[in-house]
Amino acid sequence: MKLVQVSVLVSLLGMTACKTSQFRGKAIEAEKAAEEAGVTTTTPKVTTTNQTANVPVTSTVIDTSTTDLQLNQSCDKPVQLLMAQVKLSFPESKKCEFNKDPNKEPKEAFLQAHKVSTLPMKLPEGSEICSMTLESPAATKLQYDDFMILTIDDFVIFSSNKDIVPKLAQINGLYKWDFLKVREMPVDFKALPYCIGAMERCMFPGTDTEGPVLLKLNYTEIAGITKAIQGKVQVPVDIVTTGDNDDSDDKMDCFHTALDLTVTLNYIKKPK
C-alpha cells in the first residue's frame, strides 16, 4: 500500500513539473513575440523581506513606467510622441530707419535697411523636436514690403527672396541670418522664395500681396535646428523685413501687418 502511495505522489509531481515547464515555455514565447512586434511589456518587480516568526511579509512594486526603450527612443522610431503648442502674436511693423546704423541710405533696388520683430518661443523641457508646424488663422491677410525673412534662433526658415540666402553663413547645413552679410546687395524683385521645407508645405504670400501662412517641417528638414536648440528653454522667432528706398506714409519698406502664429511641436522626451 505504501509503495502505491509513493508511486502516485511521484506521478503527480511529474505532471506538475511538466505543466510548469510548459507554462514557462509559453510565457517566454509570448515575450519574444511581443518584442518582435514592437510591444513593450512591463512586469512589476517585487522585493520581499526575510520572513521570520510573527513578522509580516512586505513587498514593494518598482516603478518601471519609463523603459529603456523609451529613454533611447528617436524621432525615427518614437515610443511616445508628445505635442506642445505655442501662440505667437507679432504686432504690425512700420517703416525702415534708413541711415541709422546698421541701415544705409535709401537706394532703389538695393537691400539698404532691415527691421526685426522678435518673440520668444518656449520649448518643452528635455525634448527633441521631431516636427514643427507654423500656421496662421485661415482669415489671415499677411502683407509685407519689400522682403520678409522668418527665422528660429536666427536660422532662416523662410525668405521671400531666395537670392538673399546663399550670401549667408551656413551652420549644420542651415543658413544663419546676418544683415551685414546681405546689406547693400542688389535685389531682384521677381526672385522666387526660399523655404527650408518642401515648397508644397510652405505657403506665404508674395511681396506686397496678402495671404495666410502655413509651414510644415519634418524631422529631416529641421534636424540641424533641433541639434542647435537642444537643451534650450526658449528660442527667439523673428520676422525680418527689408527695404530699398520707400519711406513715405502711403508706401513704406520694412513693413509687415500683424501676424498671429500657432506653432505646433511634435517631440519626444529625452533623458537628462
Determine, yes or no, domain membership for 119.
yes
Domain assignment present for residue 21? The answer is no
Cis-peptide, bond into residue 249, ω within 30° of zero: no
CB 129 within 8 A of CB 263: no
Closest CA to 224 of 149, 144, 154, 139: 154
Report how far apart, in Å, the C-alpha atoms of 12 and of each of 8, 9, 62 are.
6, 5, 36
Count how many residues are written for the chain.
Answer: 272
pLDDT computed for residue 76 by the predictor? 83
pLDDT tens digits for 91-127? 999 889 999 999 999 999 999 999 999 999 999 988 8
Residue 46 included in any domain? no
Q: Among 3-7, 115-119, 142-146, 254-258, which is the least confidently predicted range? A: 3-7
Chain centre to alpha carbon of residue 154: 16
pLDDT of residue 69: 63
Q: Domain for residue 188, yes or no?
A: yes
In angstroms, the CA 93 to CA 103 distance is 16
- Give percent above pLDDT 70 in the chain: 73
pLDDT at 66: 56
pLDDT at 192 over 80: yes
- In DSSP terms, 128 is beta-bridged to 268
Residue 20 lies in a domain: no
> Does residue 61 carry a pLDDT above 50?
no
Taking the C-alpha atoms of residue 84 and residue 92, their distance in angstroms, rounded to an integer, is 26
Q: Is the dihedral of CA 197, 200, 206, 209 positive or negative?
A: negative
* Residue-wise burial string across 7-19, b where 16 or more C-beta atoms lie within 10 A, e elsewhere: eeeeeeeeeeeee
Beta bridge partners of 100: none
Beta carbons of 241 and 259 less than 8 angstroms apart: no
E strand or H helix at 225, and its extent?
helix 219-229
Task: Count how many domains the chain has.
Answer: 1
Q: Which residues contact 52 (CB under 8 A, 6 or more apart)?
A: none
Residue 62 counted as domain residue: no
Q: How far is the C-alpha of 221 from the C-alpha of 231, rounded, in Å?
A: 19
Q: Which domain holds residue 94?
A: 82-269
Give the pLDDT of residue 216: 95
pTM beyond 0.75: the answer is no
Question: Can you tell me the distance from the alpha carbon of 141 to that of 84, in angstroms, rounded to the nearest whole number?
Answer: 25
Residue 227 in domain: yes
Cα distances (Å, whole numbers) of residue 205 to 7, 94, 157, 269: 90, 18, 15, 35
Q: Is residue 249 part of a domain?
A: yes
CA distance 187 to 231: 38
- Is the pLDDT score of 72 beyond 90? no
**Residues 6+ positions from 131 with CB-CB distance below 8 Å:** 75, 216, 217, 218, 219, 222, 265, 266
- pLDDT value for 67: 62
